Structure 1
Amino acid sequence: MVRRELPKHQRDLIVEKYQSGEGFKRISKVLNVPWNTVKTVIINWRKYGTTETLPRTGRLSKNYEKMRRKLVREASKRPTATLKELQEYLASTGCVLHVTTISHIHHLNGLWGRVARRKHFLTKKNLQARLKFAKACGKMCYGLMKPRLKFFAKGMFGATKKTNTTHHPKNTIPTVKHGGGSIMLWGCFSSAGTRALVRVEGIMNSSKYKAILAQNLQASVRKLKMKFTFQHDNDPKHKSKSTKAWLHQKKINVLEWHIQNPDLNLIEHLWGDLKRAVHQRCPRNLTDLERFCKEEWANIATSRCAILIDSYPK
């Protein structure tokens, strides 16, 4: 069992109650502190006249400060290294430390173990494009379309980092788009509510994507009776020459979207609502899943859509 030293303010309170005439058992009961701990605090106070933590016997190794700097430097350089890996690194340099001591040194130097966030891998070209996009579109109009619903599992990876450095590239796990699900959907919405939601059969290519836009996008737009901006990501079928030509021919205003940009499409919130609602209905097969998705999509409140749209500056 790990025994922790009482905080100074609690030791001061014990002494204060003792001076007011209360006995050890009474103090123990009131402060919920073991009787023998109360006794030890009083004995030390009588002997040394203070409740401060006194220096303990022994001294730090002459090389302790050198080891500490070496450990902090290595942990900052390799934030995803485990305590065991850092221990092995120190052992290879002739320094022997227990993993608990390594963890303690981390905490004293403001380093804390956390689960690393997963973020898209960004090249220098991606970073420059993001910055250019942010400057050009500081206040964006709302997005309209987003084409898929998929599920996949993620593993847990740790990182040793300082506070407020969660999204620093060294402390994240770079990812690329992959995986998939058992059903793919295309949907759209506006401030007037949800619009078409269709299931995509098989593998979607540029021709199938244009067919979906022709059958569903234009029908949804006619009901909007307002100007709109069409948003989709940089999937190859979205950026193909034939798709671009079709959108240009139909005079559809498309929001420019750079590679590896963060997904700021408001429809992502509705996908989350849809997933939770469908999950509660426990579909037994793909037919149920498709039917529940369409029913719950139609049941999403218009006010919910309007609030999302209003959250974007015009």
Structure 2
Amino acid sequence: MALYGIDINTLPSHELTPAARGYILGKISEGRKPRELARSIGVPQSTISDTIQKSTIRTNQTSQHRVGRPRSYSDREERRIVIAARKYPTIRYANIKQEANVEISNETIRGILKKHYIFHWISKKRPFLTKQTAKVRLDWARARVSWTEEQWKNIMWSDECSVERGSGKKPVWIWGTPSQKWEKDFITEHRTGKEISVMHNGYSAGSYVEVLEDQLPEYYKPGMKFMQDNARIHTAKATKEFLEEHGVETIEWPPYSPDMNPIEHAWIHLKRLVYHVCPDIEYGPKNQTVREDLEYALQEAWLHISDELFDSLGRISAKERKAIVEKYARYKLSEPLDVPLPPPLESPIKALSGPVDAFLCEEEECSFISINRSVIGQHCNQAHDWKWKKEDSEHWKKVKAQTFFTGRFRRYFVVHAAEDHSIAVALGQGDKDSAAAIKREWSEARAKRKKELEIADEKVAKTDRTGWFNRTCWPEHLAQRNTKRLAHASRPPDRDERLLQQAMKVVDLAMEKSVAGLSTLAVETRRWLRSAKREEIDVRPMARLQNPESQNR
């Protein structure tokens, strides 16, 4: 193996390659000194010494096997992690740790599952399929599983797609160091908010017929079958009349099956070619001119799509089609009504979404559950002839529920959640004793607090007969008030009431500033402010301060 120069830009934590070690040993055998060699190639002298010492025990100067860092989990914990992931495919990392009773990082869990060929990805989406819809799709596939390539070429595929400016762009990959991730030259900017979108000829049945009149006569030939999905514009009366009038034979298409249309895979190529044809279209303003440019770019991009791409769409051999049909035909399809539910009042299933508030019908032998109050009310009215009355305003009770389903039709089952207070739970003798002790402590604390408020009420009830107190009209103002609450609110703050203590200091400081400001007033004005009678000046302005009760107030 040819030797080459050592890269001095390698990270300090990386070990030398076998070629680099051979280079060092070769230079040492030529008589170079370790210090001089270390300085010339940019590595520590200790690395040179270590390479020389271990050269006799290394095979081809490769590193020896290392034991490595000890595992932070046992074999039993590893099995629990794998079982949890296989049993609950949607389980989160936190729930895996709880199920396996381990305290390890998410990266370690990912490595364990990867070792067992279990990977993590975002769930694929597809249209909601009922049992009847799935059966129609399967029957359609079985009837055409043995079609030849010539038979598939006689199908004229069709579809509609709206294009929004900014959609369909490929992600931009960047080469750089982690510290450059947020630098300006390494960032791809995109617009926010609603963008300009284009769908040629709109969405109505009339515009669809116009497209058929323009395109079908040029490409449709006798013996071909025209494919269109079950959108409203395709099943409209005007569309049917046009196809019958021109003798266009259509192929029956299963409902909710856009994934079976091969032309769906062409739209992503079309959207990407738009930016190849017109690169500057992304940066224009939102006006009619840019909309027209986008329409032109779409037409040009469509012409740039190669015929090889259309030929490859949906190209699959009869053998492969048969294997796919047989694989999915083995699965048992069930409607939500046919799926057995767990018994009520069990613990929530961790792999599902958390329990939600729901309403359970109170009729005997009726297990109808809904999360919508209007729906449960409508059920009680129609199924049990219930009508709202003052004494029977709700014919249901609140419960916690979960569901296995995520589509439009859902069935819920009742679970026992810790925060659910609507379900009666039997208490043991020990629990009853604890509850009784808590109630006694609460009653004693409440009685003690009531006594304190009564004492405070007696203090507040004392009437100050001085002129100033009568002038403020406090006796009349407080006559119809709850003096207990006033006494509680006006009490000095306790030690643990830090915020009230700070508020009291701020109020005291404000009062001191206000009183200090009064010194700038005229003497007669200050004496008049201290007087109990508005028309007379108090001859003894400092007398009020000699009353301890007035000072406390």
Q: 1:211-250, aligned counterparts within 5 Å?
A: 211-224=206-219, 226=221, 229-240=225-236, 243-244=239-240, 246-250=242-246
Query: Counterpart of 2:257?
Result: 260
- So what's the TM-score if we normalise by structure 2? 0.37
Q: 1:131-280, aligned counterparts within 5 Å?
A: 131-132=141-142, 135=145, 137=147, 139=149, 140-141=152-153, 143-151=156-164, 183-186=197-200, 198=201, 200=202, 204=203, 208-209=204-205, 211-224=206-219, 226=221, 229-240=225-236, 243-244=239-240, 246-258=242-254, 259-262=256-259, 263-265=261-263, 268=267, 269-274=269-274, 277=277, 280=280
Partners of 2:167 and 2:300 in 1: CA distance: 28
Q: Is the 8 A contact 2:198 2:294 kept in 1?
A: no
Q: 1:21-60, aligned counterparts within 5 Å?
A: 21-22=27-28, 26=37, 36-37=46-47, 39-40=49-50, 42-43=52-53, 51-55=63-67
| Letter matched to residue 280 of structure 2 | Q
Spell out, residue by residue over 1:249-299, the C-alpha distance to the aligned partner (whole angstroms, 9 max, x if none): 432233443332424117524454346645632443352244224433444
Q: What secondary structure sits across from 1:120 in the alignment?
A: coil
Paired residue for 1:101, among 108, 130, 133?
108
Identity of aligned residues (%): 13
Q: Is the 8 A contact 2:38 2:48 kept in 1?
A: yes
Partners of 2:84 and 2:39 in 1: CA distance: 45
| Letter matched to residue 280 of structure 1 | D
Contiguous gaps of at least 5 residues in structure 2: 1-10, 169-193, 316-553
Question: How far 1:68 moved relative to its partner?
Answer: 1.1
Q: Is the 8 A contact 2:77 2:102 kept in 1?
A: yes
From the CA coordinates, give the structure whose radius of gyration is larger.
2
Q: Is the 8 A contact 1:122 1:260 kept in 2?
A: no
Paired residue for 2:79, among 69, 74, 77?
69
Query: Counterpart of 2:126?
Result: 120
Q: What secondary structure sits across from 2:125 in the alignment?
A: strand
Q: 1:75-90, aligned counterparts within 5 Å?
A: 75-79=85-89, 81=91, 85-90=92-97
The two structures, once aligned, show a CA RMSD in angstroms of 4.5
Deviates more, 1:234-243 or 1:256-265: 234-243
Partners of 2:145 and 2:234 in 1: CA distance: 24
- So what's the TM-score if we normalise by structure 1? 0.59
Q: Is the 8 A contact 2:38 2:44 kept in 1?
A: no
Partners of 1:76 and 1:44 in 2: CA distance: 46
Q: Is the 8 A contact 1:237 1:243 kept in 2?
A: yes
Partners of 2:44 and 2:139 in 1: CA distance: 63
Spell out, residue by residue over 1:45-96, the C-alpha distance to the aligned partner (whole angstroms, 9 max, x if none): 66x767422436x9657x7011112212323445555xxx435532454322
Query: Counterpart of 2:285?
Result: 284
Q: Is the 8 A contact 2:225 2:249 kept in 1?
A: yes
Partners of 1:129 and 1:286 in 2: CA distance: 48
Partners of 1:91 and 1:3 in 2: CA distance: 39
Partners of 2:278 and 2:199 in 1: CA distance: 14
Q: What secondary structure sits across from 1:237 in the alignment?
A: helix
- Relative to structure 1, the CA distance from residue 298 to residue 65 in structure 2 (aligned partners, 3 Å threshold; closer, same or farther) is closer
Pairs aligned (count) = 257
- Relative to structure 1, the CA distance from residue 253 to residue 60 in structure 2 (aligned partners, 3 Å threshold; closer, same or farther) is same
Contiguous gaps of at least 5 residues in structure 1: 155-179, 187-197
| Letter matched to residue 82 of structure 2 | V
Q: What secondary structure sits across from 2:262 in the alignment?
A: coil
Query: Counterpart of 2:407?
Result: none
- Relative to structure 1, the CA distance from residue 276 to residue 17 in structure 2 (aligned partners, 3 Å threshold; closer, same or farther) is closer
Q: What secondary structure sits across from 1:135 in the alignment?
A: coil
Q: Is the 8 A contact 2:198 2:295 kept in 1?
A: no
Q: Is the 8 A contact 2:270 2:302 kept in 1?
A: no
Partners of 2:215 and 2:142 in 1: CA distance: 32
Q: What secondary structure sits across from 1:119 in the alignment?
A: coil
